[in-house]
Structure 1
């Protein structure tokens, strides 16, 4: 766009008074009002001698004003992915203070009073302006410093590559600005390009469809949201207004891409990169056809011929050096083809095993849609598989049992590894668990093998209801006994199971808020097989549950989830 303003000069080069920065609840936020909010935050931060602040705000426009206020006051901003106390207590070891919508115990700087605008100058691009966090493969967050120059070059790259067809479309998103993908695509890029953005994160399909239908629109989404888009909301009006869909933060399957294109008339533009490297490449798989990745402007790629490791050099990095991505790849005349992670080598009984290679073998089977392998630690390390069966896989599972499916898949691996190190444990799920960044972590996969999780056999599923048959082992760690009574499952267990399986099958909001109408008519005995039914009303964040058996009802109630703290 002709009115693109460099990130460092966003406030030093003011826009017209009539320019809309963002939309909030149907009301436009004009540039002067945004600049006034930034000035108020600047005054609040400038009065603080501390330099490092964790910033968390739900409203994306208010967050942007606070971010620029902090930067102009010379502060380094830390970007927590959520506002949970455990996250903030960990951050307290790294920062000097907190700001935004955070619990009172952390004494955060709150929304400031109006203050005179300073003489806005250009920001110093050399400064370490931002600290972001990546979940990593094991779920433990790792901090990554970002200079303002890195953010500025990435925003310029996005506009150069994708900006022309977007025009004045309003930017909507299902991803939070508290993560680097959401920050860049939903906030910083629109601010610099002069496009208005929606100050709210869209969560439910109905509100996504309604927001997109209001006018020319761009959708910034995670793979987790895109692959769960249902057929039932009316997407026709939204599709007529859409100019682009972006997906990043995790892999988007070809099936999910084709599903989105069918509903919304556009294939998503996938962006490959990481918190460490920034954006690397993009692709669009139209009409289900595969497509190689194409590097973003200014990004150079090379593949080591011996190791097949992909290296990247770009202005999105702090230095002009080649960085190992830990991905295997090949480059040909058509572009970049990714071939899996290279750092997933484990050793069992002195045998080196590539988890990526085994996953590729399993995923090629007509019995599966997807497969992930992990190493389970304990007395003896062992491989475990989490897999999403295909229709044929579920038919075998329900017709001949889990053991038959296990044996069929183990037979595929016998030519790759010795029998003594074949996977010992298997979990079959309808979809891989993902976090708010659309990533499946080691911790999430390991949780499926937690001994507190009862053995579950899928019975039925719709977009809003799941029915599972649970077998309660006599060795279940929750079983409690009394000297004068047989052991029973405590009442807290059904509540935990409802949330645990609810998060496996539905996109529950992150925080538990309350429970209603919870009853436990009779206890569950060891060895019992019970039926757990979950009903999720997405608009209310309500997860209803019932647990029944031949003896009658054992538990029921409603659990409510949201994004409040």
Structure 2
């Protein structure tokens, strides 16, 4: 068995179990979780997992503390941790069993003996025997994580514990000191970015992390008296509201896409800190960083990294201690010197259709030349044993007007006609979806699976959410100021003479925002005392008040329009 080398000045992952019982590992709803809790959960889970014949264990946790103890228990048990979304049907072949804090057998294709709900653990009987329960070190030394997937399904990537620890050492050398910070993230711990920055980096620096996902300024404000390290994405930063009182952060980390200089300065205004952007990938780990003190700021490699260029094919190769062999980058890179470079866009996305190499990038560029199109994303789909192309399109104002005039089918025919002299028949998209914006995952990325879902569930493209003007959260209550879009799918035929917002949509919005703001997964058991007292119309400004009655396992809500109650009620939740 290969064990992780001890990293100087930091606590290796395998030694986290030896931390003092009173060390704070994490914070859940402003309550500390200590090393003693950490040890109890790991030991209890370990005892269950080691008896199972299943070798590949997925982890589906909304709570980051439960995620960490599950990961450690699997490693101690000599099993393979698999970090993915088990609800995606495309990923079910990669795991045999699951540990979760919210999913049920109705959500995943497993038998009862292959699903562990962490809330059902008995942790009271293990701590006295902890030294004799757990092995002296991890029995497994690696985990499986997945790429985000841009042109196809996510691909598995194996990462060793030693690689994760080395990456954290590099980051600590760059950003030290970190031990007096609290790690807060809007990104998921199950992806490489969140795993590295929120989990491994925090643990090895003995800094607490916040269990919940924190996506809104109002949520972050409740931690304003702490030393904050905020781990987030461009999609979150570009939505910041400069009218909200600034929240001082010690450090803001952004990854998952490029920041504009405008968004970087918006972050500075809202958080009193320019973001440290991170360039890297699931396969390579971290590569470089920058802070945009001025526009067109170049990237700087982390200290051990090197780039070499092959001028004949314009490929740039990364040499890094975080990978086993040099890696060709999928981005166009202009090297300035041995430490600095510019990024100049992605290289071509190539797929094979009918044995021919097809550039998805070229097709996207040809579409974006058209005045009617602001942005185009092309993906391959399998249909009746053959591969076709599908286009997710964001229309310009001209395009939206043409859609109103021609309708969906005639507009797609118009685009096909415009492309016929530039694209072959096989490369013209066969399926089209027109959307206001592309769906993104928790990392702020539009991946293949999110785009593919538009074509599997076409009605979802019209289920847009209201515009959010203001959101405030305080413990178990939330208040949202929202504007109802006038182009909601649900207004179609409801009713012909005067569109009204259906009650089922109002209930869906209550569940949607409750899950985000309270960082929980809620399933409806029944409805209680639901009253719809006045209609909600297109362009109405709503105030939605939500009260999570935890002791009764209910959500209480009220919608008001112009200070008048539009609807109210209680939603009984599943246990």
Which TM-score applies when normalising by structure 2?
A: 0.69
Instruction: Choose which of 341, 344, 350 in structure 2 pairs with 1:339.
Output: 344
Matched, 1:291 2:302: no
Q: Is the 1:535–1:543 Cα contact (8 Å) retained in structure 2?
A: no
Q: In the alignment, what sits opposite 2:39?
A: 35
Instruction: Choose which of 237, 241, 246 in structure 2 pairs with 1:226.
Output: 237
Matched, 1:152 2:152: no
SS at match of 2:222: helix
Deviation at 1:194, TM superposition (A): 1.3
Q: Is the 2:435–2:461 Cα contact (8 Å) retained in structure 1?
A: no
Matched, 1:137 2:137: no
Instruction: Choose which of 388, 394, 411 in structure 2 pairs with 1:387.
Output: 394
SS at match of 1:270: strand
Deviation at 1:189, TM superposition (A): 1.0
Deviation at 1:279, TM superposition (A): 1.8
Q: Is the 1:172–1:219 Cα contact (8 Å) retained in structure 2?
A: yes
Deviation at 1:191, TM superposition (A): 0.6
Q: Is the 1:535–1:544 Cα contact (8 Å) retained in structure 2?
A: no
Partners of 1:300 and 1:444 in 2: how far apart? 34
Change (3 A) 1:33 1:315: same
Range with bigger deviation, 218-227 or 189-198: 218-227
Q: Is the 1:186–1:220 Cα contact (8 Å) retained in structure 2?
A: yes
Deviation at 1:434, TM superposition (A): 0.8
Match runs of 1:106-121 below 5 Å: 106-107=112-113, 108-109=115-116, 110=118, 111-113=121-123, 114-115=125-126, 116-118=129-131
Change (3 A) 1:291 1:454: same
Partners of 2:570 and 2:333 in 1: how far apart? 44
Q: In the alignment, what sits opposite 1:552?
A: none
Q: In the alignment, what sits opposite 1:267?
A: 274
Q: Deviations over 1:145-176 (max 9, x none)?
A: 22222222222222122233x34011111122
SS at match of 1:23: strand
Partners of 2:181 and 2:46 in 1: how far apart? 30
Match runs of 1:223-372 below 5 Å: 223-234=234-245, 236=246, 238-239=247-248, 242-286=249-293, 289-317=295-323, 319=324, 321-333=325-337, 335-345=340-350, 354-356=359-361, 372=377
Q: Is the 1:327–1:338 Cα contact (8 Å) retained in structure 2?
A: yes
Q: In the alignment, what sits opposite 1:69?
A: 73
Q: In the alignment, what sits opposite 1:435?
A: 441
Deviation at 1:337, TM superposition (A): 2.3
Change (3 A) 1:133 1:446: closer
Q: Deviations over 1:75-98 (max 9, x none)?
A: 22122335x3x55x953x443432
Change (3 A) 1:233 1:282: same
SS at match of 1:315: coil
Q: In the alignment, what sits opposite 1:527?
A: none
Partners of 1:426 and 1:543 in 2: how far apart? 38
SS at match of 2:41: helix
Partners of 1:316 and 1:425 in 2: how far apart? 40
Match runs of 1:8-27 below 5 Å: 8-11=14-17, 14-27=18-31
* Number of residue-to-residue matches in the alignment: 506
Q: Is the 2:198–2:209 Cα contact (8 Å) retained in structure 1?
A: yes
SS at match of 2:296: coil
Partners of 1:22 and 1:124 in 2: how far apart? 22
Partners of 1:366 and 1:262 in 2: how far apart? 35
Partners of 2:202 and 2:195 in 1: how far apart? 10
Which TM-score applies when normalising by structure 1?
A: 0.70
Change (3 A) 1:69 1:444: closer
Q: Is the 1:511–1:561 Cα contact (8 Å) retained in structure 2?
A: no
Q: In the alignment, what sits opposite 2:97?
A: 97
Instruction: Choose which of 174, 178, 182 in structure 2 pairs with 1:161.
Output: 174
SS at match of 2:446: coil
Q: Is the 1:3–1:194 Cα contact (8 Å) retained in structure 2?
A: no
Q: Is the 1:4–1:193 Cα contact (8 Å) retained in structure 2?
A: yes
Instruction: Choose which of 457, 467, 486 in structure 2 pairs with 1:468.
Output: 486
Instruction: Choose which of 178, 187, 200 in structure 2 pairs with 1:175.
Output: 187
Partners of 2:41 and 2:21 in 1: how far apart? 14
Instruction: Choose which of 198, 202, 205 in structure 1 pairs with 2:210.
Output: 198
Deviation at 1:291, TM superposition (A): 2.0
Range with bigger deviation, 460-469 or 72-81: 460-469
- Structure 1: gaps (5+ residues): 479-486, 523-529, 546-555
Q: Is the 1:72–1:123 Cα contact (8 Å) retained in structure 2?
A: yes
Q: Deviations over 1:311-367 (max 9, x none)?
A: 3232222x2x12233333221237232233324246999998754467679889999
Partners of 1:461 and 1:388 in 2: how far apart? 19
Match runs of 1:495-510 below 5 Å: none
Matched, 1:60 2:67: no
Change (3 A) 1:74 1:365: same
Instruction: Choose which of 222, 225, 229 in structure 2 pairs with 1:210.
Output: 222
Partners of 1:499 and 1:337 in 2: how far apart? 44
Partners of 1:535 and 1:562 in 2: how far apart? 23
Partners of 2:225 and 2:21 in 1: how far apart? 23
Change (3 A) 1:133 1:342: same
Partners of 2:66 and 2:431 in 1: how far apart? 48
